[in-house]
Chain A
């Protein structure tokens, strides 16, 4: 299996704080890969580095074999590498359908395509994906009025609308109530198997990540601590120590 994202020896520091140090990892095409680690271990920084949110200090990041570490955010997004935010970001003043329609991929859209109105297929696709995440009934409400969990689901649906090849999810289940989480795991897995989207997921909820991921990386203090299958990670003494605060 080939790697869709290859991160090698990436370092990033903010002033004196070293957020990532020589991190190397790879995400295989078509898989679900997990990224765990205690708070402040540099998971979100690594995500931000991958999607071009800030420049990296050293190292290389490749997406589908192409070096992307110097690209701006939009260019990377148009390559099909998309992320969702830990602090959910949706367009609060618009309703669900509008949020979905805005998220149509601008990958191949020329200015003349952009000056067309939305087609019936666009609307159907939006409705279909809103139903997929269970927000169909609330699609005409201002999305800023939705609960936090619903906004997370909407953001996930918006990401799917963009037809990414790879999706970086920053804590998709944080703030979602436990009964909904099962449904969300199901949907994430279906997004992976049915739509063929590679998922790279930051997650604190061990039950969720152990159920989903085929491979898990663990960060601690900005460095890669361990990698392996969920079982191996679960039984890795270093990981347990990191989480229980042995440092």
Chain B
């Protein structure tokens, strides 16, 4: 089993590295797939593992975009002049300014989003169940509207970042590997985290928060840390998206509550909540479904998406991984165990 797992991981990693070269026409699609995997994995950290279904994780994506862009611009120019609608100036970025700004911007975005998660979490973690979902959704929508009315960051027309310096096809591959790198890091981080005492504690909060309280677990503290960790990765993904998209605006691309904000939840539900692989499997299936319907059912694509959500929520709540666990419990180590002879005395 262990050997098989190693081979499986190696195959997936090898495919991830080869994919952008083997399918050069799908470079951006594959990068978006990694973005889906990142947001699904991080959504599951709170939604699946901790039982707090946030509809506001998109806040970190949008905020990450803006923070990364503002850091990059701010390092070289005055942000107010750069984003001014009446400007029309031409701003050149050297390679160092572009890549240095991107590196600092993406990491800064992650850190800033973590800090935001602590503050927002402090205000919203008193809410339970659907109230938490609606409360966080409100945060994301409000943030989008606020940013859209903030002229210093470009207001409703958003920010245009410099284009990738050098060959644009190479640029696509670079963005693919940035997303893939963050995606693999997120996966490994989750895999490690869920095996620790911390992971066990957030599972306890999901299953029975009152009991977790009664057992002396620092529930609020652990909830804040978990969300801050999730926000860090989403913020970085948002930062990379900002450079990949080149131009973004607040309501449709940054704080896109009804697109990516919902997609991440559907990915997790489809793949299986509260499992390590569920979000990954779900993101792949969902992205395939989305691309196929957007291409071949154009005009009906939102109807198809809605149907998928309804069918998943009504008939397939446990997702792919949940179905497998139900069907083949022995794969997941669920068994009655007889005492080993040596242990019986």
Identify the A interface with B (CB < 8 A).
51, 72-74, 77-78, 82-83, 85, 89-95, 98, 101-107, 109, 111, 113-118, 127, 136-142, 158, 162
> What mask results when residues 198 to 230 of chain B are scored 1 for a CB within 8 Å of chain A, else 0?
101101101110111111111101100100000
- Min CB distance A162 to B, Å, is 6
Q: Does B334 contact A (CB under 8 A)?
A: yes
A158 to B212, CA, bound (A): 11
Minimal beta-carbon separation of B316 from chain A (angstroms): 18
Name the B residues within 8 Å of A118 (CB-CB). Answer: 196-197, 200
Contacts of B219 in A (CB 8 A): 74
Contacts of B338 in A (CB 8 A): 137
A-chain residues with CB within 8 Å of residue B197 when the two chains form the complex: 101, 104, 109, 113-118
Among B198, B218, B343, the residue within 8 A (CB) of A74 is B218
B337 pairs with A101, CB closer than 8 A: no
Contacts of A89 in B (CB 8 A): 208, 210-211, 214
Does B5 interact with chain A (Cβ within 8 Å)?
A: no
A127 partner residues in chain B, CB cutoff 8 A: 343
B208 touches A77 (CB 8 A): no
A91 touches B203 (CB 8 A): yes
Q: Which residues of A contact B213 (CB under 8 A)?
A: 72-74, 77
Q: How large is the interface on B (under 10, 10 to 19, 20 to 34, 35 or more residues)?
A: 20 to 34
Residues of A within 8 A of B225 (CB): 111
- Chain A positions within 8 Å of B215 at CB level: 77, 82, 102-103, 106, 158, 162
- Does B339 contact A51, Cβ atoms closer than 8 Å? no
Task: Using A118-B197, A136-B339, A139-B337 as known contacts, say yes or no to A107 and B216 having CB atoms under 8 A apart.
Answer: yes
**How far is A109 from B217 in the complex, measured between Cα atoms in Å?**
10
| Beta-carbon contact of A114 and B196 below 8 Å | yes
* A225 vs B7: C-alpha distance when bound (angstroms): 70
Residue B3 interfacial (CB < 8 Å): no
Q: List 30 A-B contacts (CB under 8 A).
A: A73-B213, A74-B218, A77-B214, A85-B214, A89-B208, A90-B211, A91-B204, A93-B207, A95-B334, A98-B200, A98-B203, A102-B201, A102-B204, A106-B215, A106-B218, A107-B216, A111-B221, A111-B225, A114-B201, A115-B196, A115-B197, A115-B198, A116-B196, A117-B195, A117-B196, A137-B339, A140-B334, A140-B335, A142-B334, A158-B215
Distance A78 CA – B218 CA, assembled complex (angstroms)? 9
- The answer for the CA separation of A107 and B197 in the assembled complex, in Å, is 13
The 8 Å CB contact of A82, one of B208, B216, B334, B336, is B216
Q: Which residues of B contact A107 (CB under 8 A)?
A: 216
Return chain A residues, CB-CB under 8 Å to B339: 136-137
Tell me whether B87 is interfacial, beta carbon within 8 Å: no
In the complex the two chains form, what is the Cα distance from A90 to B208 in whole Å?
8
Whether, in the assembled complex, B166 has its beta carbon less than 8 Å from a beta carbon of chain A, the answer is no
Interface: B299 (CB within 8 A): no
> Is A105 within 8 A of B336, CB to CB?
no
B216 touches A141 (CB 8 A): no
A162 contacts B204, C-beta separation under 8 Å:
no
Please indicate the chain A residues that have their CB under 8 angstroms from the CB of B222 in the complex.
Answer: 114
B129 interface residue per 8 A CB criterion: no
Contacts of B336 in A (CB 8 A): 137-138, 140-141
Judged by a CB distance under 8 angstroms, whether B333 is at the interface is yes
Docked Cα-Cα span, A82 to B335, in Å, equals 31
Chain B 321-345 interface 0/1 with A at a Cβ cutoff of 8 Å (1 = within): 0000000000001111111000100
Of chain A, the residue at the smallest CB distance from B197 is A114
B195 close to A83 (CB less than 8 A):
no
Considering the chains assembled together, what is the distance between the CA atoms of A94 and B333 in angstroms? Answer: 11
Task: Report B-chain residues with C-beta under 8 Å of the C-beta of A136.
Answer: 337, 339
Cross-chain contact B198 with A102 (CB below 8 angstroms): no
Residues of B within 8 A of A109 (CB): 197
Write out the residue numbers on chain B whose beta carbons fall within 8 Å of the beta carbon of A104: 197
Instruction: Give the distance in Å from the alpha carbon of A158 to the alpha carbon of B338 in the complex.
Output: 21
Name which residue of chain B comes closest to A95, CB basis.
Answer: B334
Instruction: Tell me, rounded to whole Å, the shortest Cβ–Cβ distance linking B86 to chain A.
Output: 49
CA distance A8 to B207 in the complex (A): 35
Determine the residue in chain A with the shortest Cβ distance to B337: A140
CB neighbours of A74 from chain B (8 A): 213-214, 216-219
- The minimal Cβ–Cβ distance linking A119 to chain B, given in whole angstroms, is 10
Residue of A nearest to B222 (CB): A114
Q: Which residues of B contact A111 (CB under 8 A)?
A: 198, 221, 225
